[in-house]
């Protein structure tokens, strides 16, 4: 009898262990295999949220099959206490394991709303965009100029947790404009009083967080520009009349201001390289303008003859060679064009009325191009007045 009872007991224990093993295998499969989410979603985790609440919300959204298994899996992986606040893109059929990785690794938000501060030549546009988690495309929901009439809803939005912030510098923007803008962006900390060297900031897109230091941000921009110039200088063409990485920045900044057409940058660069080799003055208006404004404001009009005759270090009509500093912060394309210009004999160019330029080898050809441009200007003026 006792043997029979013991045997039945052992069988029962074995059955229980077998069942537990089966449950463990099933739970592991549920945690690591594809999930049940039929459509991508954006999961918002507020600061101070508890893992139990987040797991139950995921279960209600059908992103996971079981809140309990999700929490057990997190415990098993040692992530239970690592929940991060933010907005996280949960992809269609995402496994519990991948969701756990997303909400515990931290870093940049991957969905939700973002504020983009677009630093332009004359103003900064603030754009608020919302990502559609299904298409991962952004839809603009708000737009206004920084330091103007700020919408009330923007102040409310800034209180939202998980809001992304990005600062995008336009190619050719001056260092003064960059400093002016970041000092006006309220989420940043630490005022900047000294303007970085012209040309030293990389026109790029930078993600920032609430409370980020402004000086640290400028240092990041400088590091990016330094790296780009160093790489370009190492890959430069032979026999260039450029003698340092500083010369590259100066020439690239002029190219940036002379044309906004990507395909023209190498040709424009060739004109200035040819002029430097021939000892001709560069005769570039943007440099003369910089001598007047120092990059602190837009001239807002054409150059006067008296300004073309005014001898400043940046007057490239009166002074040969490169000006003493850059006149803007050039982008990577202009930097590369400066060190690898097109192989041409051009030494002149003028606007052609289509957004691009007409190039010439001789002064006679150039004068013909100038006459054509004057005719386009006159026609445009007549059309405007009518």
244 shares its domain with 163: no
Q: Smallest Cα–Cα separation from 331: which of 170, 171, 206, 121?
A: 171
pTM of the model: 0.78
What's the rounded Cα separation, in Å, for the pair 156 and 16? 56
DSSP-assigned letter for residue 213:
B
| CB distance 295 to 198 below 8 Å | yes
How do the pLDDT tens digits run along the chain, 386 residues long?
Answer: 545 544 555 555 655 555 555 555 665 777 788 878 888 888 888 778 888 888 888 888 888 888 888 888 888 788 888 888 878 888 888 888 888 888 888 666 777 778 899 999 999 999 988 878 888 788 888 888 987 877 887 877 777 766 788 999 999 999 999 999 999 998 899 999 899 999 999 999 999 988 899 999 999 999 999 999 999 999 999 999 999 999 999 999 999 999 989 999 999 999 999 999 999 999 999 999 999 999 998 888 888 999 899 999 999 999 999 999 999 999 999 999 999 999 999 999 998 888 899 999 999 999 999 999 888 877 766 554 44
Q: Is residue 290 part of a domain?
A: yes
d(CA 337, CA 357): 16
11 occurs within a structural domain: no
Q: Are 191 and 183 in contact (CB under 8 A)?
A: yes
Tell me which of 176, 197, 228 is where a domain ends: 228
Same domain, 317 and 243: yes
Residue 279 within any structural domain of the chain: yes
- Burial (Cβ within 10 Å: 0-12, 13-18, ≥19) of residue 286: buried
100 and 130 inside one domain = no
* Domain assignment of residue 97, given as a range: 32-109
**Same-domain pairing of 214 and 273:** no
Contacts with 213 (C-beta within 8 Å, 6 or more apart), sequence order: 188, 189, 190
- From 228, 244, 275, the end of a domain falls on 228
Residue 243: inside a domain: yes
User: Per the domain annotation, does 96 fall within a domain?
Assistant: yes
- Could you tell me if 338 and 291 lie in one domain? yes
On whether both 260 and 119 belong to a single domain, the answer is no
> 55 and 156 in one domain?
no
How many C-beta atoms lie closer than 10 Å to residue 98's C-beta? 14
What is the domain count for the chain? 3
Tell the burial category of 194 from Cβ atoms under 10 Å away from its Cβ (0-12, 13-18, 19+): exposed
- What confidence score (pLDDT) does residue 168 get? 96
Which of 77, 109, 141 lies at the terminal end of a domain, its last residue? Answer: 109
CA distance 200 to 246: 9
């Amino acid at each position: 009898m006792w043997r029979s009872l013991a045997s039945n007991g052992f069988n029962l224990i074995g059955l229980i262990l077998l069942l537990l093993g089966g449950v463990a295998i099933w739970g592991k499969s549920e945690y690591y295999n594809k999930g049940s989410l039929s459509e991508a979603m954006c999961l918002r985790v507020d600061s101070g949220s508890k893992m139990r609440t987040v797991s139950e919300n995921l279960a209600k959204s059908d992103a996971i099959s079981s809140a309990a298994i999700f929490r057990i899996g997190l415990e098993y992986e040692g992530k239970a206490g690592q929940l991060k606040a933010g907005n996280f893109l949960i992809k269609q059929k995402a496994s519990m394991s991948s969701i756990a990785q997303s909400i515990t690794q931290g870093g940049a938000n991957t969905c939700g709303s973002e504020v983009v501060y677009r630093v332009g030549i004359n103003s900064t546009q603030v754009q608020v965009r919302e990502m559609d988690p299904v298409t991962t495309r952004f839809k603009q929901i708000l737009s206004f100029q920084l330091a103007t009439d700020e919408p009330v809803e923007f102040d409310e939005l800034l209180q939202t947790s998980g809001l992304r912030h990005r600062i995008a510098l336009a190619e050719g923007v001056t260092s003064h404009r960059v400093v002016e803008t970041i000092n006006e962006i309220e989420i940043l900390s630490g005022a900047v009083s000294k303007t970085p060297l012209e040309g030293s900031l990389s026109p790029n897109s930078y993600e920032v967080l609430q409370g980020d230091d402004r000086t640290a941000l400028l240092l990041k921009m400088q590091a990016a520009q330094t790296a780009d110039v160093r790489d370009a200088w190492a890959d430069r063409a032979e026999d260039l009349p450029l003698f340092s990485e500083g010369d590259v920045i100066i020439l690239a900044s002029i190219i940036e201001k002379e044309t906004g057409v990507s395909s023209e940058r190498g040709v424009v660069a060739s004109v200035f390289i040819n002029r430097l080799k021939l000892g001709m003055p560069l005769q570039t208006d943007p440099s003369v303008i910089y001598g007047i404004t120092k990059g602190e404001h837009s001239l807002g009009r054409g150059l006067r003859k008296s300004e073309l005759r005014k001898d400043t270090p940046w007057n490239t009509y009166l002074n040969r060679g490169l000006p003493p500093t850059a006149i803007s912060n050039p982008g990577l394309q202009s930097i590369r064009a400066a060190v690898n210009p097109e192989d041409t004999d051009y030494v002149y160019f003028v606007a052609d009325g289509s957004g691009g330029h007409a190039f010439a080898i001789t002064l006679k050809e150039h004068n013909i191009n100038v006459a054509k441009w004057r005719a386009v200007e006159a026609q445009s003026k007549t059309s405007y007045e009518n």
